[in-house]
Amino acid sequence: MASRSSNNIRTRVGKYELGRTLGAGNFAKVKFARNVETGENVAIKILDKEKVFKHRMIVQIKREISTMKLIRHPNVIRMYEAMASKTKIYIVLEFVTGGEVFDKIARKGKLKEDEGRKYFQQLINAVDYCHSRGVFHRDLKPENLLLDVNGVLKVSDFGLSALPQQVRKDGLLHTTCGTPNYVAPEVINNKGYDGAKADLWSCGVILFVLLAGYLPFAESNLAALYKKIFKADFTCPPWFSSSAKKLIKRILDPCPSTRITIAEVIENEWFKKGYKPPSFEEADVSLADVDAIFNEIGGSKELVVERREEVPVAPVTMNAFELISTSQGLNLSSLFETQMGFVKKETRFTSKSPANEIISKIEQAAGLLGFNVKKNNFKVLKSPSHPPYQFYWLKLHGEKTGRKGHLAVATEIFEVAPSLYMVEVRKSGGDTLEFHKFYMTLAAGLKDIVWKTGDGAEERKVEGVAASG
């Protein structure tokens, strides 16, 4: 597909040109961006200052920025810089294209032991380094482990991390946080815990998931789940090697005082097989400028300006291979994997139907499910001889309160080729399993607008699913 030069409206923040949204949550969204000086691709996490102040998240955001500045390691997502405008905070991060480790497990199920060990070694390298800098992650799980184009693991999302100043006089942390299936028993116990030992427990759960393809502790009822975690009530599958079983049982020891340490893990025979210690240079880092990011004084020289400008660019194009590889009609296997026991948070499909018909179908189907729909669109000038390019988004908000509040679903519709649209549907709030159930029903009303790729993917049916989330 040949690209044509044209004019477009682009948003610039400092030296970065912003692109499409990669993900969104209640308080932040992440956009693809390009450094116009170097041509390097980055990801920019954008937070609304008003929301940050309103919800008293200043301490948490400062902690995340401080943490990311302190850490320079090949197995941790790099933060290049943090900036602020009068209304927004921008965190510029390394852009990785290999997806989540979660995705890899969901596609393949359990990994071979050598492959699982490789990722576990990189995870331990990263966590050990973080601990050496006084940083405890506190929310380690496959969804927060990314892969770069070379398959190198990168730890991300330090929003719940703890810094040395959070350790009390008893030498322990006291904030209960993390994802229930991965959290250590002493964290749930709420009597104080060692951040390093709690992180290692989460690494042990991740290792089990890598090699088994499912969680060691999985119950739909939190009380039952915590009971299993307190007792370390789990069984290794028969395909685990005896040395892998021994290591996992030593990591998933419910008593933190007898639990193996990271130093001991690194010396373990199973761990050391094919092990390559990381190579990197330490950098002197100052945290003196972190407070300036939250400076609300108008006209500060430290503030950046977000501006829109018209620049010559090539329209977004995608060849058939890229298009089909990112969207398989309504193939629900992109949402979940039964043997994995997990549910995905987003899916995509393509359509040759007009944009207004796609929007109408989604509105109609969502309305029948009791969802309110907010919509908007943006016109982008292409050239005098072509009509404006349209980008659409819809936000669906459930009326009923679910397990984790109201389910919110973000939908983006954008043109990837003339008369061909990519539709991305993702959970932006609420419970992941409820999102899965919502999409299963929504999909029934969208089948006639989905572009058939010819491989029958949209005809596949998946029966039965267990989920955590």
Q: What's the pLDDT at 333? A: 41
pLDDT score of 170 more than 90: no
List, for residues 88-131, the tens digit of each pLDDT value. Answer: 888 888 888 887 888 888 777 889 999 999 999 999 999 998 88
pLDDT score of 19 more than 60: yes
The answer to whether 348 and 452 have CB atoms below 8 angstroms apart is no
- Select from 409, 419, 412, 410 the least CA-distant residue to 351: 419
* Adjacent-strand bridge partners of 343: 336
The answer to whether 322 and 422 have CB atoms below 8 angstroms apart is no
Average pLDDT, integer, range 308-334? 46
pLDDT score of 461 more than 50: no
Find the Cα–Cα–Cα–Cα dihedral 340, 344, 348, 349, rounded to 10°.
Answer: 50
Q: What's the pLDDT at 26? A: 66
Rounded to the nearest integer, the mean pLDDT of the chain is: 75
Q: What gap in Å lies between CA 429 and CA 142, rounded to an integer? A: 19
pLDDT score of 242 more than 90: yes
List, for residues 374-390, the tens digit of each pLDDT value. Answer: 876 554 433 344 444 45
Q: What's the pLDDT at 85? A: 85
Q: What's the pLDDT at 404? A: 67
Question: What are the residue numbers of the active site?
Answer: 139
- The tokens for 88 are 């927004």
pLDDT score of 255 more than 90: yes
List, for residues 404-449, the tens digit of each pLDDT value. Answer: 677 888 887 776 666 777 788 878 777 777 777 787 788 877 878 8
Q: What's the pLDDT at 311? A: 53
DSSP SS3 for 80: strand
DSSP SS3 for 228: helix
Q: How confident is the model at residue 325 (pLDDT cuts 50, 70, 90)?
A: very low
Residues of the chain with pLDDT > 90, as a percent, come to: 22
| pTM for the model | 0.60
Average pLDDT, integer, range 384-402? 65
Average pLDDT, integer, range 61-77? 78
Residue 439 burial (C-beta neighbours within 10 Å; 0-12, 13-18, 19+): buried
Average pLDDT, integer, range 399-403? 74
Vertex 202: Cα angle to 335 and 222 (nearest 5): 65
Q: What's the pLDDT at 238? A: 95
pLDDT score of 344 more than 80: no
pLDDT score of 234 more than 90: yes
Q: What's the pLDDT at 279? A: 78
pLDDT score of 213 more than 80: yes
pLDDT score of 165 more than 60: no
Place of tokens 């789940």: 225
What is the DSSP secondary structure assignment for residue 199, as one 8-state letter?
A: H
Q: What gap in Å lies between CA 155 and CA 19, rounded to an integer? A: 23
- List domains and CATH numbers for the chain: 11-95 (3.30.200.20), 101-272 (1.10.510.10), 320-459 (3.30.310.80)
Place of tokens 């390097």: 40
Q: How confident is the model at residue 179 (pLDDT cuts 50, 70, 90)?
A: confident
Per the model's pLDDT, the better-predicted residue between 349 and 161 turns out to be: 349
Average pLDDT, integer, range 31-52? 87
- E strand map for 322-364: 336-337, 342-343, 346-351
Vertex 136: Cα angle to 134 and 140 (nearest 5): 155
- Give residues with Cβ within 8 angstroms of 142, minimum separation 6: 100, 101, 102, 105, 206, 209, 210
- The tokens for 467 are 């989920």
**The residue count for the chain:** 469
The answer to whether 273 and 280 have CB atoms below 8 angstroms apart is no
Q: How confident is the model at residue 293 (pLDDT cuts 50, 70, 90)?
A: low
The answer to whether 377 and 322 have CB atoms below 8 angstroms apart is no
